[in-house]
Structure 1
Amino acid sequence: MNQKNKVFIATSLDGYIADRNGEIDWLLSLPNPENDDMGYKEFIAQIDALIMGRNTFEVVCGFDTWYYEKHVFVLSNSMTEIPANFRDKATLVKGNLNDILDEIHEKGYHNLYIDGGKTIQSFLKEDRIDEMIITLIPYLLGGGISLFGDLTKTLEFEAVDTKIFLNTIVQNHFVRKR
């Protein structure tokens, strides 16, 4: 069975996914007159489920709308349960990353959207990211929550596509070279 772990995320030019206060409002500050989803619908159509960390889950739970039609697995060793109003949408998973992936794959979910800074970093440390679509928003935040962290080895990716949206935003698509 073909299994892929994919990232679709936006960063500042200096590689941050949230500012120093953990806020992401800067992501929404650029005018988007065409309401272009920048490839998100096409991306999510290829996905069976999402895996996100506790911090990202808490942020999306605070939105007025639940944006995910696919099931969400929340990766957390500190949470004890999913809030009652999200139990039909999300499942808590904890433990060793490879065991968690085996458990999710056994449930029939094979193409996974990996979201959240620490979660993406965990997957990269285990060399479990196959593709990354990274959208660069033209801001320098100068600090905040970084997309990438320390790795024990170099991971090589190949650029397979680059798109420019609204003459401002650059989206790069990378595939892991194995």
Structure 2
Amino acid sequence: MTTRYYTATSLDGYIADPDNSLDWLMAVPDAGTATGDVGEFLRGVGALCLGSTTYEWMAANEPPESWHDNYGDRPTWVFTHRVLPEFPGANVRFVAGGVESVHAEMVAAAGDRDIWIIGGGDLAGQFADAGLLDEVIVGVAPVTLGGGAPLLPRRLLSDQLRLVAVEQLGQFAKLVYRLR
């Protein structure tokens, strides 16, 4: 079982623009190619984890029935201090507090499959701070935003990260780093 943060980022390291929009990502001509391996990745995922901003973006930009089409009945934890809308039929738990106790629940629910931290960067950083993040996978888009939500707002130095894979997916560079 591995806890993975898998996301797209701009070349200058942002996962959303200053308005928390992903329009920049959807405008990249090969965006579908870059996410083409998500289906294969998802087959190995037993539990999902999101921050409230990521979840709210999904709720505002995806049709309600898309949750089950995209993620099935995988148990999902959303970290928030607010009341958020629910996707009909989604297996979602809204939680607050530290990631450590919730991670243990996610591990139990995932079984022998992985945990996917979909976003955001600060949530992935909390898992890294707690020593619970095993891998960072990023699809680097040919876009610069100049500001927005950072990929991973933590100081992780080269002795903590090991590059294990590089792949070109259309206009995207997919980078896979393991945390030590």
Structure 1 length normalisation: TM-score? 0.84
User: Distance between the aligned counterparts of 1:173 and 1:108, measured in 2?
Assistant: 21
| 1:45-60 map, 5 Å | 45-60=43-58
Structure-to-structure mapping, 1:124-135, within 5 angstroms: 124-135=128-139
SS of equivalent to 2:19: coil
Q: Is the 8 A contact 1:94 1:100 kept in 2?
A: no
Kept in 2, the 8 Å contact 1:121–1:147? The answer is: no
For residues 152 and 32 of structure 2, what CA distance do their matches in structure 1 show?
31
Correspondence 1:23-102 to 2 at 5 A: 23-32=21-30, 35=33, 37-62=35-60, 63-64=62-63, 65-66=66-67, 67-69=70-72, 70-76=74-80, 78-80=81-83, 83-86=85-88, 88-102=90-104
Cα shift at 1:20: 1.3
Structure 1 105/17 Cα, relative in aligned 2: closer, same or farther at 3 Å? same
Deviation (angstroms), 1:33: 9.1
Number of corresponding residues: 171
Consecutive unaligned residues in structure 2, runs of 5 or more: none
1:12 matched to 2:10:
yes
C-alpha change, 1:148 and 1:8, in structure 2 (3 Å) is same
Once the two structures are aligned, what percentage of the paired residues are identical? 25
Give the corresponding residue for 1:106: 108
Q: How far did residue 87 of structure 1 move?
A: 5.9
What residue in structure 2 maps to residue 139 of structure 1?
143
Q: Counterparts of 2:85 and 2:145 in 1: how far apart (Å)?
A: 32
| Pair 95,87 (structure 1): closer, same or farther in 2 beyond 3 Å | farther
Structure holding more helix per residue: 2
Gaps spanning 5+ residues in structure 1: where? Answer: none
CA distance in 1, matches of 2:7, 2:106: 22
